[in-house]
A = this chain, B = another copy of it.
């Protein structure tokens, strides 16, 4: 069974507090304010463990960055800011996407990413 460690709790709190998907480095920086000696390997191991438990999900972004967010029950997508690179949740989905696939292909899912500028970066380039 899994243990309740300061590191694990700090990582979970960082994700809860952010309310948006965080990169491993963002998680590290946030959680280190609580547990200064925290190492990046623990962040990777912990988010993987939390993902296995179904508590968080990975958000893989074009460019190779993988962020992590607390698991939601509802279908949603993401927005990435070109200014600060932060990732935000986007509610809703255009739907009717399966019909776009080539004939003979079976669509099992989809991902949609919007990009542009968040409210903060829109005013502060």
Hey, which bits of chain A sit against chain B, CB under 8 A? Answer: 60-64, 66, 77, 79, 81-82, 88, 90-98, 100-119, 122
| Identical chains bound together, number | 2
Are B91 and A94 neighbours in the complex by a CB distance under 8 Å? no
Residues of chain B lying within 8 A (CB to CB) of residue A116: 101, 105-109
Residues of chain B lying within 8 A (CB to CB) of residue A62: 60-62, 111
Q: Which of B61, B88, B94, B98 contacts A96 (CB 8 A)?
A: B94
Residues of chain B lying within 8 A (CB to CB) of residue A61: 62
Q: Which of B91, B94, B105 contacts A79 (CB 8 A)?
A: B105
Residues of chain B lying within 8 A (CB to CB) of residue A81: 105
Q: Which of B90, B95, B101 contacts A101 (CB 8 A)?
A: B90
From A77, A110, A122, name the one whose CB has the most chain B CB atoms within 10 angstroms.
Answer: A110
Q: Which of B90, B95, B97, B105 contacts A122 (CB 8 A)?
A: B105
Among residues of B, the one whose C-beta sits closest to the C-beta of A64 is: B64
Are A114 and B122 neighbours in the complex by a CB distance under 8 Å? no
